[in-house]
Amino acid sequence: MIWLLFLALAALVLAPLAFALLRPARLTGRREADLALYRAQLAELEREREAGRLEESAHRAAVVEVQRRLLATPETVPASRATRGSPGATPRTTPRTTPGALSGGAALLAASLFLVPAAGFGIYLWGGHPDIPAAPFRERAAEAAREEALLAQLRSRIEQLPPGSEAARQGWILLGNAQRGRGRLTAAAEAWEHALGTRFDPDLAAELAGLRIELSQFDRAAALLDKALAVEPNSPQLRFLRGMADAQAGRPEAARAAWTTLMAALPPDSPWRRLLRQRLDALP
């Protein structure tokens, strides 16, 4: 059953190629192509005029020039006259291929209809694992429930530890890391806040400040970074995040001042310089 599903998906993906291959050739005359080109040019000139990027006099002159080129375009000779007229007269149309023959592009499309599924099947057999059983939703839900139970158990044990102990601090950091890995930013920030309350650490403060910025809590992030900078005033990470908090809070001038000062203090080979330059260029 699974292989029938794979074949159906392959047919669905390759359907546009088959349509392009089987679609009959369309004859397009020179005059028709020129008309389409000049219409596009006139439409572009009109958009430029409406946007205010082209003055009225310049717009009129450009339109006249496009119209002059259109009038100078040679007419297409009708197919009926070409067949009845002189032997050298031929219609200006794209040539048809001989029935039953494929052009180079059509041959490539036809080959792709067979080569793409065959290549995909071969790569899957070589690097895939078709014998691995599927993970039903019930099993995934059960695994998520087990993880939730473990996190709840970890939090319960941490709360039973002495509040100011190093074991409790490490437990809160571990819980915050687990919650951050699950995408629960608010819960991770709460756990790291408990750890900082036990003992202040500038590195953990930087992690928590970055989390606060992601949660759009810019003032709380700025206050935390100011406290960390009082301990480590030369930390590039803390100074960069301080400017980031200002930039995200809508204070571009404060962010520019912080990042410019940091840029001047960094050595020429510092990896922070490129990131700072990108952020400074992005400021309004």
SS3 state at 279: helix
- For tokens 């793409």, the residue is 116
Say which DSSP state 77 is in.
Answer: P
Structure tokens at 96: 């048809």
Measured CA to CA, the distance from residue 176 to residue 190 in angstroms comes to 8
Q: How many CA atoms lie within 13 A of 141 on its CB side?
A: 3
CA 101 to chain centre: 42
Q: Which residue, among 284, 259, 255, 283, has the nearest Cα to 273 in the 3D structure? A: 259
Backbone phi, psi, residue 189, to 5°? -65, -40
Residues 6+ apart with CB under 8 A from 66: 38, 41, 42, 45
Say which DSSP state 182 is in.
Answer: T
Measured CA to CA, the distance from residue 39 to residue 71 in angstroms comes to 13
> E-assigned strands of the chain?
none
Measured CA to CA, the distance from residue 152 to residue 68 in angstroms comes to 79
- pLDDT (0 to 100) of residue 9: 74
SS3 state at 135: coil
pTM: 0.53
Identify whether the C-beta of residue 75 lies closer than 8 Å to the C-beta of residue 31.
Answer: yes
Task: Report which residue type is found at 186.
Answer: T
User: Between the CA of residue 83 and those of 25, 86, 176, what are the distances in Å?
Assistant: 20, 8, 82
- For tokens 């494929």, the residue is 102
- pLDDT (0 to 100) of residue 75: 53
Residues 6+ apart with CB under 8 A from 117: 7, 10, 14
Q: What is the dihedral of CA 36, 37, 38, 43, to 10 degrees?
A: 90
Cα angle, residue 253 at apex, residues 275 and 218 outer, rounded to 5°: 75
Run means of pLDDT, 10 residues per run, the chain, 284 residues: 67 70 58 74 85 81 79 52 42 45 60 70 70 68 84 91 91 93 92 94 95 95 96 95 95 96 93 93 92
Q: Is 129 left (phi over 0), alpha (psi -120 to 50) or beta?
A: beta
Measured CA to CA, the distance from residue 56 to residue 38 in angstroms comes to 19
